[in-house]
Structure 1
Amino acid sequence: MAHEQYQAALKALHECMEACNHCYDACLQEDDINMMSECIRLDRECADICAYLEQALTRGTPFVSELAQVCATICERCGEECKKHNHQHCQDCADACFKCAEECKKLA
């Protein structure tokens, strides 16, 4: 399989997507939802790009480095936003985002 070289990235992308989806859902339950709006928006962006890149890698996209660069940028932004909030789901999401950004940088 062509995507065996991407095992670490695929794992990080999948874990990041799951963490962002969980954070997104949990943020919607928070009392001060207005304070969470940027976190919610970035969770959505990040989950989508991670899911897309995961699929693109498994089908052998010719745009690995370009997509990985964009994904790394979005993961970092999402991680930075999540880090600002004390909720456990935000902290867990930030960790997954930063880990994914590192894996994406290796591909970019």
Structure 2
Amino acid sequence: MFLYTETDQNLQACIDACNHCYRTCLRMAMNHCLEAGGKHVEADHLRLMMNCAEICQTSLNFMLSGSRFSPKVCGVCAEICDACAKSCEQLDGMEECVQTCRQCAEHCRKMAA
């Protein structure tokens, strides 16, 4: 019987967090933000949301492939997720994105350490 180690559990938690953040940022950017308009579609904010979705997907792919570069990619992912959460905090209706980005950043920081 295979028992997960703490490292395996941290890896799986980070994979799940990156996947959830990728889906959330993409969905919120392409639906909520585009429909809300105004500050939600300003270039810096929308670009950051798409960057966040992309780096989360990239981090996910690196971890799933067992890449030795995963910790470095996860470190960058944490930084971008933090920036995205801060940007989303400034706008109405973005609470889900803020929470998801913060959780992903936390898990990615653990993987990067």
Structure 1 ranges of 4+ moved more than 3 A: none
Q: Which residue of 1 aligns with 2:55?
A: 49
Amino acid at match of 2:72: E
Larger Rg: 2
Q: How many residues align?
A: 102
Give me the whole-angstrom Cα distance separating, in 2, the residues matched to 1:50 and 1:59: 14
3-state SS of paired residue (1:105): helix
Alignment map for 1:1-108 (pairs within 5 Å): 4-5=8-9, 6-25=11-30, 26-32=32-38, 35-36=39-40, 37=42, 38-87=44-93, 90-108=94-112
Alignment gaps of 5+ in structure 2: 1-6
Partner SS for 2:92: coil
> How far did residue 4 of structure 1 move?
4.2
- Identical pairs, percent: 30
Q: Deviations over 1:20-47 (max 9, x none)?
A: 0111012011132xx1223211110000
